[in-house]
Structure 1
Amino acid sequence: MRPEYVERKQTNCEKWDGMERLFSSNDLLPLWVADMDFKVPEAITKALHEYVEMGAYGYYKVPDSYYEAFIAWEKRHHGFTVEREWLRFSPGVVSGFNWGVQMLTRPGDSILIQQPVYYPFARAIENNERHLVSADLVNHNGHYQVDLEAFEETIIKEDVKLFILCSPHNPVGRVWTEAELKGMIALCRKHKVYVLADEIHQDLVMSPHHHTSAFLAENYQEGMILLTAPSKTFNLAAGQNSIIIIKDEELRARWDKFVLSIAIGSGNAFGYIAAEAGYREGDEWLQGVKEQIQENYNYLKDELSRHLPKAVLAPLEGTYLAWLDLGAYLEGKNVTEVMEEQCKLAVDYGNWFAPVGYENFIRLNLATSLDNIKVATASLCERV
């Protein structure tokens, strides 16, 4: 069953109604913010209705059933056996890795990322007065790989204290193999580098690829914190509810002490209720979402191959984000002007993800209707 598209304009939606913050106009087709234009699973709506109709919204005790639903989901979908005592809270994955940066490092410490990568990684490092270091991914005509030799050399040269891993990778769409993950994490273990593993897109993996949790790839529990959330999986970003997984008892104690210092130990009831319902009954809905995303990607790929054959579209192994190299057509042009004034699209620009070398790349959000993808694709093919 395919997901139901929702018209979100004039609903106080950041993606549709908040474009003036970053773009030249609020009258663009928005394919930027990474959330979906799909109605959530019916089970989530029903659970929230029941809570709203109850009518009293005081302090909320998180039920055991919430944790049980997530634990069962991880086992069912990823073969990952999670224990209740490992689980902690943050209001978002971005908040979580900012907390991790503050907890695990000191001002001036080197923190490693792999550009091009989700730009809040760099902001978390810079805003917390740490030193940003990148072991850039290697681009083989749209397929990105890790250079483990360069990865280790960078750790040693820069005296890296923390690595922020993006798995699956945003924006390039890679689903790292178990061997790739093991290689990176083993080097971090060797050099006593902490790992923050952002696995927020773990449930959005396209067949035949399979997500492997960083904890399953390499047993580095004393140095690793994993972050995930129902927000990408079920379109619940407004619920502000993310899940932190920490196996090591000492690391958990450090996390708990840090959280006490900022007094943010739990989230809101609506986020917990929505997440639990999704984890319990959202399997079929998620499969439909992935089928829609794959159809949207295939359409984009086919049209680009016909009309912009020199464009390089990265293979979509995971996430719902298309990473597109338009360098053959945009070289020497003002990319912002082409996208916003000619194509009438709001997109994420490549230089948001890496400061150099990606000026002619864009990231497109595929979690919308095929009709919107057709409009965007036609605009790109006709006007780039």
Structure 2
Amino acid sequence: MAYDFDEIIDRRNTESEKWCNLLNIYGRNDIIPMWVADMDFKSPPEVIDVLEDRVKHGVFGYPMLKDEYIEPFIKWVFKKHTWKIDKNWVIMNSCVVDSLKTAVLTFSRPGDSIVIQPPVYRPFFNLVTSNGRTLLTNPLKIENGRYKIDFNDLEKKLSEKRTKLLLFCSPHNPVGRVWEENELRMLGELCLKYDVLILSDEIHSDIIYNNKHLPIASLSKELQDSTLSFYAPSKTFNLAGLRTSFVVIPNERIRTEYETVLSSISSMSINIFGLLAASAAYQYGEKWLDELIDYLKGNIDYVIEFFKHKLPKVTINPPEGTFLLWLDFRRYGSESFVKNILINEAHVGLEEGSIFGQEGQGFFRMNIGCPRKILVKACDNIYNAFKSLI
């Protein structure tokens, strides 16, 4: 490998939310943090070089957004996901959650309903309820160990009179599903039938294992015109702290409405370092990403085999995408009981499934985006804490 993903980088005292906020989150500092979705790897060296050069310049005034910062993203999406994006469709913003919030404020009104599919990324709930919208859930169902969309229930929720939006997670966080074309088409057809806009969060779309990510907007002209797609380099290249994202809105009328609201609540200014990092990552980061995915596959295989042989009461279905594992601890008892053991005996910080909706109760999300040595230590700690309960 050209890149050293085994290097252990001390992130303490670096303003890292993942590593420096353990006392507030878990009540103790001696925790191996495997919760929030950022990785413990250095970003691609080409990105670091560009940022170092800009720092040496020494002047950090207001940046000017030019096409040259958008074009690498467009080329990347076409190469990776075979969707040809027009540069005029793209709006840059600080982060995907802020961009989703803008869409919620633009295309719904207080009292309108928005559908989400739990267990799902925690901020989806708050995006709906904190803005006075009505939350409708279309829970995913488990069939033969694999999460599926309940299309009968989805149609019921979409057909309700005040349903305006579907918040769609593709690939899905936390369960790791990469949706297949037939699933995307069925979902899209229902949204078109009931005139519901799709807000497609595709932030994890570059970390895919044995299949292919399809942007739902790429499947037809009709879906392209009724979908807002949200991307960022943050998960792909470990750049979350630079807060740079892209919103793709092909429909001109919808895009104009979105930009009007965005300009009323935001300066629409992007951090100069975020611009440069995103551009460099999309131009030069492909080889780094290929090696990262291979390394993550090794981490996933290690954890699955470890639990299969050491703690078989914990079940894990291999993720199709993301660097997140969804561990089913329900056979060990209540979520609070398991969480207490993880924190106070194993000293490992996972995220309890209930924060992703009641459907996640008893599951835990594990971020495996870390050097193998850290992962091995965490697994050993969990085994030693739970082995007497076998």
Q: Which structure 1 segments of 5+ residues have no match?
A: none
Rounded Cα–Cα distance in structure 1 between residues aligned with 2:219 and 2:117 = 19
Letter in 2 for 1:203: D
- Corresponding residue for 2:99? 96
Q: Deviations over 1:299-334 (max 9, x none)?
A: 000011101213221221000000000111234862
- The 1:332–1:266 alpha-carbon spacing in structure 2 relative to 1, beyond 3 Å, is closer
Of residues 113-122 and 21-30 in structure 1, the stretch that sits farther from structure 2 once superposed is: 21-30
Alignment of 1:97-176 (within 5 A): 97-157=100-160, 159-176=162-179
Tell me the number of residue pairs that the alignment of Structure 1 and Structure 2 aligns: 382
Q: What is the match of residue 255 of structure 1?
A: 258
Shift of 1:146: 0.7
Is the CA contact 2:120–2:169 (under 8 Å) kept in the aligned structure 1? yes
2:72 corresponds to which of 69, 72, 81: 69
Query: Structure 1 counterpart of 2:342, which letter?
Result: M
* Aligned residue among 78, 85, 90 for 2:88: 85
User: Where do 5+ consecutive residues of structure 2 fail to align?
Assistant: none
SS of residue matched to 1:168:
coil
1:58 corresponds to 2:58 = no
Letter in 2 for 1:362: F
| Structure 1 position 141, deviation (Å) | 4.9
The residue number in structure 2 matching 1:378 is: 380
Shift of 1:175: 0.3
1:382 Cα deviation from its structure 2 partner:
2.3
Counterpart-to-counterpart distance in 1, 2:239 and 2:213: 21
Contact kept? 1:3, 1:285, Cα under 8 Å: no
* Match in the other structure for 2:300: 297
Match for 2:350 among 322, 347, 351? 347
Task: Flag as ranges the 4+ runs of structure 1 deviating above 3 A.
Answer: 2-5
In the other structure, the counterpart of 2:271 is: 268
The code of the aligned residue for 1:319 comes to T
Report which stretch shifted further, 214-223 or 24-33: 214-223
Tell me, yes or no, if the aligned pair for 1:112 and 1:135 is still in contact at 8 Å.
yes
Matched position secondary structure for 1:334: helix
* 3-state DSSP of counterpart to 1:22: helix
Tell me which residue corresponds to 1:26: 29
Shift of 1:191: 0.1
In the alignment, the residues of structure 2 paired with residue 21 and residue 108 of structure 1 have an alpha-carbon distance, to the nearest angstrom, of 35
- Percent identity over the alignment is 34
Task: Name which of structure 1's ranges 19-28 and 250-259 shifts more when overlaid on structure 2.
Answer: 19-28
Where 2:118 maps in the other structure, the secondary structure is coil
Contact kept in structure 1, 2:165 and 2:197, CA below 8 Å: yes
Alignment check: 8 A CA contact 2:314 2:328 kept? yes
Aligned counterparts of 1:288 and 1:19: Cα–Cα separation in 2: 30
Q: 1:265 to 1:324 in 2, by over 3 A?
A: same
Contact 1:171/1:322 (CA < 8 Å) preserved in 2? Answer: yes
Task: Please give the TM-score of this superposition, normalised by the length of structure 1.
Answer: 0.96
Alignment of 1:204-215 (within 5 A): 204-206=207-209, 208-215=210-217
Query: 1:223 deviation in Å?
Result: 2.1
Check whether the contact 2:324–2:366 (CA below 8 A) recurs between aligned residues: yes
Residue 9 of structure 1: aligned partner: 12
Please, which moves more after superposition, 336-345 or 106-115? 336-345
Compared CA separation, residues 218 and 335, structure 1 to 2 (3 A): farther
Correspondence list, 1:211-290, <5 A = 211-219=213-221, 220-290=223-293
The farther-off stretch of 177-186 and 374-383 is 374-383
Q: Please give the per-residue CA displacement for 1:265-310, whole angstroms capped at 9, x wherever unaligned.
A: 1211000000000000000100111111111110000011101213
Question: RMSD of aligned C-alpha atoms?
Answer: 1.4
SS of the equivalent of 1:374 reads helix
3-state DSSP of counterpart to 2:43: coil
- Take 1:158 and 1:339, find their aligned partners in 2: how far apart are those partners? 44
1:194 is aligned to: 197
Looking at structure 1, the residues matched to 42 and 286 of structure 2 have their Cα atoms a distance apart, in angstroms, of 14
Change (3 A) 1:292 1:148: same
**Compared with structure 1, are the counterparts of its residues 214 and 21 closer, same or farther at alpha carbon in structure 2 (3 Å cutoff)?**
farther
1:158/1:97 CA distance change after superposition, 3 Å:
same
Match of 2:363 in 1: 361
How far did residue 3 of structure 1 move? Answer: 4.2
Question: Please, which of 320, 326, 330 is the counterpart of residue 327 of structure 1?
Answer: 330
- Residues 151-194 of structure 1 deviation map (CA, whole Å, 9 limit, x = unaligned): 10222246421100000000000000111111111100110011
8 Å CA contact retained: 2:335, 2:363: no
**How many Å separate the matches in 1 of 2:379 and 2:82?**
37
Paired residue secondary structure (2:26)? coil
Which segment drifts farther, 271-280 or 139-148? Answer: 139-148
TM superposition score normalised by structure 2: 0.95
Other-structure match for 1:308? 311
Post-superposition shift, 1:112? 0.2
Q: 1:142 touches 1:312 (CA, 8 Å); kept in 2? A: no
Whole-Å separation in 2 of the counterparts to 1:188 and 1:210: 23
